């Protein structure tokens, strides 16, 4: 167990070593148990977290705000549109000043080729931990909640188990690529064989894929890429299928939507789920485009773990806050 994470940033998934992630998981399970028993755990009494949002949220805001309160602290919700960020406050100012007002700074900034740069610039100027609530490259807290859920459903020994991280069609906006990128980076470290499935045009960042391949090699796990959703689902223990935009192909929303709309057949339905193992679980970070991205029968069915997964955002985030801000 790694016992000193105080003051550390969590911006990219590999910022914490495998052993440090295991520490986060141990603390998260302990906090989940305490929550179930109504056992007080005010480890961050009188601490205040700045929650700066450039991108709207449901689970992220709710889980961070509830989590810091349950730890005895306070979450200050800050919408970037209601600040002076658009009138001159640079990341340096935010890091310097919020780092003096607050005990931690959590930021959600998903704008392509801007978000991650912004978080790192704030972190460089801040004297307190900077936590990534999602950027254009990574979504580490979602991935920690996903790992926690997989451990609950499949046990901690994940060797020879397969997770498919698949693209799925969505009719709404072109979504960030951060969730699949975090998954392919983190999951090989815990023994899972990863299959990444997407149609042509929806590739992930080459350097992230390269790092994922390095992690798979280091930990002796499989990593493969396919352009067939059906091939990806075949014999999977864990199905993680969600939409993301063709951001490396085109940043133009109209062109991207046109390309996205040409793959409407990439829906997670009962037929595709039948290709996975009988006890496979279905995961999604939500919100999902129902009956477009996934059928009601799958997301509301017995293989779906999406609500347990959403709950675990709370516990995983509390663990990181307690370890880094305490």
Count the Cβ atoms, other than its own, within 10 Å of residue 95. 22
Tokens of 305: 């773990």
CA–CA separation, 50 and 75 (whole Å): 6
For 154, list phi and psi in degrees, rounded to 5.
Answer: -120, 0
Distance CA 17, CA 236 (A): 26
In angstroms and rounded to an integer, the radius of gyration of the C-alpha atoms of the chain is 19
- The CATH 3.40.50.1370 portion of the chain extends over 13-139+313-325, 142-309
Distance CA 177, CA 204 (A): 7
Q: Are 299 and 290 a contacting pair, CB within 8 Å?
A: yes
Longest dimension (CA), the chain: 55
pLDDT of residue 172: 83
Dig out the tokens for 97 from the structure. Answer: 């000043």
Helices and strands (DSSP H and E) totals, the chain: 12, 9
Tokens of 108: 């959600």
**The two three-digit tokens of residue 129, written as one number:** 């931990």
C-alpha–C-alpha distance, residues 268 and 11, integer Å? 30
Q: State the Cα–Cα distance between residues 3 and 23, nearest whole angstrom.
A: 8
**H or E stretch at 270:** helix 270-273
Report phi then psi at 185, rounded to 5: -80, -45
Q: What is the pLDDT of residue 3?
A: 87
Contacts of residue 294, defined as CB under 8 A and 6 or more positions apart, other chains included, come to: 168, 241, 267, 268, 269, 282, 284, 288
Q: For domain 142-309, give the fold.
A: Rossmann fold (3.40.50)
Give the integer Cα–Cα distance in Å for 5 and 3.
Answer: 6
The highest-level CATH class for domain 13-139+313-325 is alpha beta
Omega cis (within 30) before 104 = no
186 phi/psi in degrees, rounded to 5? -85, -40
**Separation between Cα atoms, residue 314 and residue 326, nearest integer Å:** 17
In which residue are the tokens 């799925």 written? 168
Q: What is the pLDDT of residue 86?
A: 85
Whether pTM > 0.75 for this model: the answer is yes
Give the residue ranges of the chain where pLDDT is below 70: none
């Amino acid at each position: 167990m790694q016992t000193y994470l105080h003051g550390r940033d969590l911006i990219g998934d590999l910022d914490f070593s495998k052993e440090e992630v295991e520490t986060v998981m141990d603390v998260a399970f302990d906090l989940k148990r305490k929550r179930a028993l109504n056992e007080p755990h005010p480890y961050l009494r009188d601490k205040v977290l700045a929650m700066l949002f450039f991108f709207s949220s449901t689970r992220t805001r709710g889980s961070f705000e509830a989590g810091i309160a349950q730890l005895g602290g306070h979450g200050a919700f800050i919408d970037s549109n209601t600040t002076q960020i658009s009138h001159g406050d640079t990341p340096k100012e935010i890091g310097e000043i919020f780092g003096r007002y607050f005990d931690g700074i959590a930021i959600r900034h998903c704008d392509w080729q801007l978000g991650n740069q912004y978080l790192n610039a704030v972190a460089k100027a801040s004297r307190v931990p900077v936590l990534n609530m999602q950027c254009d490259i990574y979504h580490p807290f979602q991935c920690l909640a996903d790992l926690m859920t997989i451990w609950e459903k499949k046990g901690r020994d994940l060797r020879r188990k397969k997770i498919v991280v698949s693209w799925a069609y969505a009719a709404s906006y072109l979504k960030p690529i951060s969730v699949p990128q975090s998954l392919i980076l983190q999951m090989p470290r815990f023994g899972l064989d990863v299959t990444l499935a997407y149609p042509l045009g929806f590739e992930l960042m080459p350097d992230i894929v390269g790092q994922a391949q390095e992690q798979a090699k280091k930990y002796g796990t499989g990593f493969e890429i396919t352009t067939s959703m059906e091939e990806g689902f075949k014999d999977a223990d864990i199905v993680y299928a969600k939409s993301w935009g063709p951001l490396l192909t085109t940043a133009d929303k109209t062109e991207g939507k046109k390309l996205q709309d040409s793959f409407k057949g990439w829906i997670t339905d009962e037929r595709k789920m039948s290709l996975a193992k009988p006890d496979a679980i279905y995961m999604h970070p939500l919100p999902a485009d129902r009956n477009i991205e996934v059928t009601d029968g799958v997301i509301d069915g017995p293989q779906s773990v999406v609500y347990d997964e959403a709950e675990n955002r709370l516990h995983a985030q509390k663990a990181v806050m307690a370890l880094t801000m305490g």
